[in-house]
Amino acid sequence: MAFMILLFLLHSHLFPILAYQYSPASSREIAVDCGSNVTSATTDGREWIGDVPSEFTRSPLLRGSSISSSAVDMADADPVPYRYARISRFQFSYVFQEVSPGQKCIRLHFNPVSYRGFGMYRDLFIVEAGRSTLLGNFSASLTADALGLKYFVKEFWITVEENQTLRIKFSPARSLLRDTYAFVNGIEIIDRPTSLYYTRDNRLGAQLIGHNFRVLLDSSTVLEMVHRLNIQEESVSQANSSGMLHSRTTRKTNKINFFAWSVPVDVGFGYLVRLHLSEVQNYMEVSGIMEFSVLINGKIADTKVDSARGRSHNDIHCYRDYVVMMNGNEQEGKRDLVIALKSRSGLSDGPLAGLEILKLSNLNNSLSSLDPLPPSQSSSSRSLRESILLLVSYHGNAVASIVVAVMTLTTLVNYKLHKIAEAKWKKQSALTGGLRRFSLHEMQSATDNFRHTHIGKGGFGNVYRGLIDDGRNRVAMKKLAFGSHQGEREFWNEVKALSRLRHANVVSLIGYCYESEEMILVYELMPLGTLAANLFKNNTTDNSLSWEQRLRICIGAARGLDYLHSNGVIHRDVKCSNILLDDKFRAKISDFGFAKLGETMQLHSHVNTRIVGTNGYLDPDYMRTQRLTKKSDVYSFGVVLFEVLSGKRAVNSRGQDNQPDLISWARGHIHNKDIDQIVEPCLRGNMSVKCLKDFVEISEKCLHDEPEKRPTMVQVVAMLEFLLEEHVAGKSKSEMVQNHMAGDRGTQHPEAPLGGTQPKILEASTRGAQVCVGGSSSSSKQFTLRPRKQFQRSKALTFSDGPCHRFSKSRIENATENFSPKCLIISNGFYEIYAGSYMSFGTNITIARFICAEERISDVRKELEMLSKLYHPNLACIIGYCCGDNGEISIVYEYAGDNTLLHYLETSVLSWKIRLFICMGVAQGLDYLHMRTGKTIIHGDVSPSIIFLDKGWHAKPLNVNDPARTWQTSRELQNMPPDFTYPTKFTEKSDVYLFGMLLLEVLCREYLHDYLLPDRFRQAIKKKALERIIDPYLDGKIQAESLCEFLKVAFSCLQLEQVDRPPMDSVVFCLEEALWLQHNAEIHSLKDNENQDGFTLDNVYRELRHFAAITLQNNQQSGITSSR
């Protein structure tokens, strides 16, 4: 009977709770103490209502199956709202029906402890508000452990529309683990002004870092408060309030101050960074100025920010907003968002009052990111209490009692054994953090039983290359040297370290194998090996790393170390051989066998420990005192910086006693004031004197004899990023370090066959943003900013003789079916372009064929070899060539696209946004040729017939002209007036003119060999009849201000005098603005061709008539007569 009563009680307790109506006491603020049935007050007097209905409370509407449960151990948590929880293994939700429309701040409170009937580390759930996902695969237990907190709050910002109810839904996540559950302790809903974080009316929006876009944050965007920091109130603990590391350094030599904040954030999302600026009158009287520069993730966000400018006398506070995209694969986990300030005015915290970082929802209206799964706990088949109850219920039958007693004893033994095994499992799970565990058989199969796959030697064993998951994934496996007790300690140390660390600049540990005394660590494979292998090649002039690559590698490694330090990890063995490079030369810290783990430590805290590490990198203070601090890693990193600069090892590997170590050698040159002798010969001539001096200064700071005077790693990151920004901008081109070894610049860059300076082949430009554009203007409402993926040569078209392969004539003929007419795409009298198929590699290619003068063939070959080293998403990539008979040359490209822009203009209907996107892509490709390769490269034939488009509408112009006759065959001469004598020397501004013609042709959807086309547009503007020349399909579908911006760009490009034409980077900026204006108008829907600011076609005619009149006047003054 007792047993039946127990079952009834359990069944009643788990039955879904009935729905109750909610009527808020205040429409301004709602606070729900989840699981409670009374109204309670906190110490600050705030009232929290319970969610269990009673005659004294007005609770929200509850849906689904859930129960109220109390915490087993309250520890230090406040009773309200952390004593009770609404908890369930099934989906449940709160419905707030009378919430007023507008922006709401939702605060979710979590106290992840054991609750009655629910153990820790099994919480794994999804939280949704309306159609938005706030949390996905979220474990409050693991989050609290990672943050080192007992309880915490997650804060979100969401908009409730008119006549809309607010539903907050909690759903246990599907998992391999059983009995996962969802819970919440408290919910707050607070009214906030709509303009608090969203873009106000008539405002431009927040600047997108690294782009010329401004981002409008409207009510459809959901926000999550990631970090909030109040800088000017010292009572606020920075570590506890925000989790951010705030540090500063002063460069006394030139009075430059650095301030930096670093915080790890989820990859794959955008973030709103708000800097709060306050006017401090006393400070202004002392310093006289409050200006500083802002750098976010290595990109300059603002220069000379003045907190006092632009405010009225009564303003006491203002802020600056920026949006930064943390692009990448979500599998990377977290990456540092670094905010740095730079000032020359002796600035302290001064005008910066605080900062906030908010996460922006993605295209799926989700804030969900990848979180590690909680540890699984196997539950026994029957609890001890249930066994005892069974024994009591059958006491009337002696035989049955004996049987039940035996069953009970067996259950008790199993229960105890289970608890012992569970405790052991918990310990290992805490150590490995849910890493994948491989069997020894899997490891042997992945490496062919460790034969022929050896690729190196790690800290405690050999490293092998392997394939897992049926050959789908390549990995690196580090195998413990058999019988090494020291190696076993390092093995578990590395597992413990990497199981809790996830960062783009820290090598990822996929799993491990611990079986039959074999210990193996499984990592992601780093294709380019170690930094040491790339720096210290036997032939230092062969494919050596460029200076920009080295700077980026140093920044990546510094970010990795900063992440480790902010998570309480000291590496203890920082060196070039422990910095790995992936296929994009991205640096990742590896080998954590010597790492010292602990709770997050203060900057200057230390531990006493035995000395481990590598000679040449060891901190002298650490060796002398055995006091280990994070600054010991900083010293080792300083050694790495000098290795990167000099190309020399820290310690002479040949063991010659008369050769000093690297640091002593470098300091000797610094003392003698000949620091240029430290630079590796292949780098001389590729960096400015200022850049060299600053880099050496950073290195010396890291190597300071006194640890407390060394910078933190976040400061090192900030200084290196400023250095890279200045290097790329080329601010000191006239002060190049002299090359004391003539002719020894290596073969990293090709010789310049057409004269000029040595070209520096840079990485593909990522300046442009990818735009989601539909087939028509009406169908492309969504506008997203996604920087392009880094452009790479197809691995299927890689040849042993380098990037520019020489094809045989027979292969070219086979690829084009002997130049069959059915493969012909373009023939214009100067060249022919064919679509080909390269059967040997099973891929398509594009081939351009033209005739070249015999004496020019050698120069053309050199030119093609140089061009084949250029990579950009908006250029057709040259992979080789073929020299035929009678001067015939065929240029072979990777497949450029399905067809040309001309084809689509003649046969398809393209929306205005697609056309803008195509033009912007062409502009970015030309900008790369003109400005980003170290020398000016001229295209010479910018026309719709030569611009190919792929399936994503990315423009890829082909360059098929013989450089010797570029100016003669140029389309610019065809579109110039016949009585105008053009100089025989082509320049990059000639490309700009051709691009202006292209813009007009795209707008009117005609391919016109007509030099009067610009004048036809001017006449249409004068007569207010643009609809007569613009593509009829676009009538009424172009936002007026976007059209005005577009035509201003076109007329600027068509200026007769080359000096008056803009550079292509300015053109890109203006086209991005035109695209943004069009997008913004489509969001609010086009009505009578008028935008929210009242900008109409009349404004277009007014502005362009003046603009076009100036252009026409300049042309007529130069002797040009225009007629229709």
Per-residue pLDDT tens for 959-976? 755 444 443 444 444 554
3-state DSSP of 483-494: CCHHHHHHHHHH
Average pLDDT over residues 121-149: 87
Answer whether 837's CB lies under 8 Å from 815's CB. Answer: yes
What local confidence, expressed as pLDDT, does residue 189 receive? Answer: 94
* Pair 230, 210: CB distance under 8 Å: no
**Identity of the amino acid at 377:** Q
Confidence category of residue 56, pLDDT binned at 50, 70, 90:
low
Name which of 342-356, 764-778, 937-951, 985-999 the model is least confident about.
Answer: 764-778
Distance CA 746, CA 757 (A): 15
CB 738 within 8 A of CB 579: no
Q: How do residues 548-575 score in pLDDT, each as one tens digit?
A: 999 999 999 998 898 888 778 899 999 9
How far is CA 638 from its chain centroid?
26
Whether 545 has a pLDDT exceeding 50, the answer reads yes
Question: Of 196-205, 555-564, 603-612, which has the strongest mean pLDDT?
Answer: 555-564
pLDDT (0 to 100) of residue 202: 58
Compare 370 and 934 and report the one with higher pLDDT. Answer: 934
> Which one is predicted more confidently, 768 or 70?
70
* Per-residue confidence (pLDDT) for residue 68, from 0 to 100: 92
Measured distance CA(1076)–CA(388) in Å, rounded: 72
The mean pLDDT value for 468-497 works out to 74
Q: Are 909 and 1068 in contact (CB under 8 A)?
A: no
State the average pLDDT over residues 1102-1108.
67
Q: How confident is the model at residue 858 (pLDDT cuts 50, 70, 90)?
A: confident
For domain 206-360, the CATH architecture is: Sandwich (2.60)
> For residue 586, is pLDDT > 60?
yes
Residue owning tokens 């998570």:
567
For residue 1107 the two structure tokens come to 């603009």
pLDDT at 1064: 86
**Coil/strand/helix, residue 350:** coil
List the structure tokens of 680. Answer: 């590796």
Amino acid at 838: Y
- Polymer length in residues for the chain: 1124
- Name the 3-class secondary structure at 355: strand
At 1-25, the pLDDT tens digits run 443 433 333 333 333 322 333 333 4
Dist. CA 269–CA 369, nearest whole Å:
9
Residue 212 has what DSSP assignment?
A: S
CA distances from 84 to 42, 55, 391, 892, 1104 (A): 14, 19, 33, 70, 67
Q: Is the pLDDT assigned to residue 706 strictly greater than 90?
A: yes
- C-alpha angle 791/796/797, rounded to 5°? 80
- Distance of alpha carbon 515 from alpha carbon 363, whole angstroms: 44
Phi, psi of 488 (to 5 degrees): -65, -40
Residue 694 has pLDDT above 90, yes or no: yes
More confident of the two residues 215 and 288:
215
CATH topology of domain 436-524: Phosphorylase Kinase; domain 1 (3.30.200)
Bigger pLDDT: 799 vs 476 = 476
Of residues 468 and 396, more confidently modeled: 468
The pLDDT value recorded for residue 1055 is 84
CATH class of the domain at 537-735: mainly alpha
Structure tokens at 715: 């400061």
In 3-state terms, what secondary structure has residue 752?
coil
Q: Could you tell me which residue, 502 or 55, shows the higher pLDDT?
A: 502
Q: Which of 827, 951, 937, 944 is nearest to 895 (CA)?
A: 951
Q: With 60 as the cut, is the pLDDT of residue 751 above it?
A: no
> Which of 651-665, 674-688, 1054-1068 has the largest mean confidence?
674-688
Q: Which residues pair with 878 in a beta bridge?
A: 893
H-run or E-run covering 361: none
Phi then psi for 176, rounded to 5 degrees? -65, -20
Dihedral Cα 925, 927, 932, 934, nearest 10 deg: 110
Asked if the model's pLDDT at residue 313 lies above 80, the reply is no
pLDDT-wise least confident of 33-37, 146-150, 455-459, 734-738: 734-738
Which of the 8 DSSP states describes residue 1037? Answer: T
Task: Give the pLDDT confidence of 618-641 residue by residue, as tens digits.
Answer: 999 998 888 889 999 999 999 999
Among 460-464, 605-609, 660-664, 1097-1101, top mean pLDDT goes to 660-664
What integer pLDDT is reported at residue 678 of this predicted model?
93
Q: Output 1001 or 611, whichever has higher pLDDT.
A: 1001
248-258: average pLDDT: 45
Active site residues per annotation: 573
**Of all residues in the chain, what percent carry a pLDDT higher than 90?**
19
Contact (Cβ atoms closer than 8 angstroms) between residue 200 and residue 1064: no
Please list, in sequence order, all residues whose beta carbon lies within 8 angstroms of the beta carbon of residue 862, skipping any fewer than 6 positions away.
750, 751, 753
Q: How far is CA 561 from the centre of its chain?
A: 18
Per CATH, 206-360 and 436-524 having the same topology is answered no
Quote the mean pLDDT of the chain: 73
pLDDT at 356 over 60: yes
Mean pLDDT to the nearest integer, 846-856? 78
* pLDDT higher than threshold 60 for residue 529: yes
Whether 368 shows a pLDDT value over 80: the answer reads: yes
Note whether 561 and 571 are within 8 A (CB): yes
**CATH hierarchy code of domain 769-1117:** 1.10.510.10
pLDDT in tens, 318-328: 788 899 988 77
pLDDT-wise least confident of 124-133, 341-350, 408-417: 408-417
- Cα–Cα separations (whole angstroms), residue 936 to 304, 749, 928: 31, 15, 9
Give pLDDT tens digits for 1032-1067: 888 888 998 899 999 989 988 988 888 788 888 788
Q: 1023: annotated binding-site residue? A: no
Cβ(271)–Cβ(358) under 8 Å? yes
CATH 1.10.260.40: does it fit domain 17-192?
no
Dihedral sign, Cα of residue 688, residue 689, residue 692, residue 694: negative
User: Of the spans 254-258, 732-736, 822-826, which averages the highest pLDDT?
Assistant: 822-826
Give the whole-angstrom CA distance, residue 836 versus residue 531: 40
- Answer yes or no: is pLDDT of 1119 > 50: no
| Res. 150: pLDDT tops 60 | yes
Check pLDDT > 70 for residue 520.
yes
pLDDT at 767 over 90: no
Domain edges within the chain: 17-192, 206-360, 384-432, 436-524, 537-735, 769-1117
Task: Give me the mean pLDDT over the 332-346 stretch.
Answer: 73
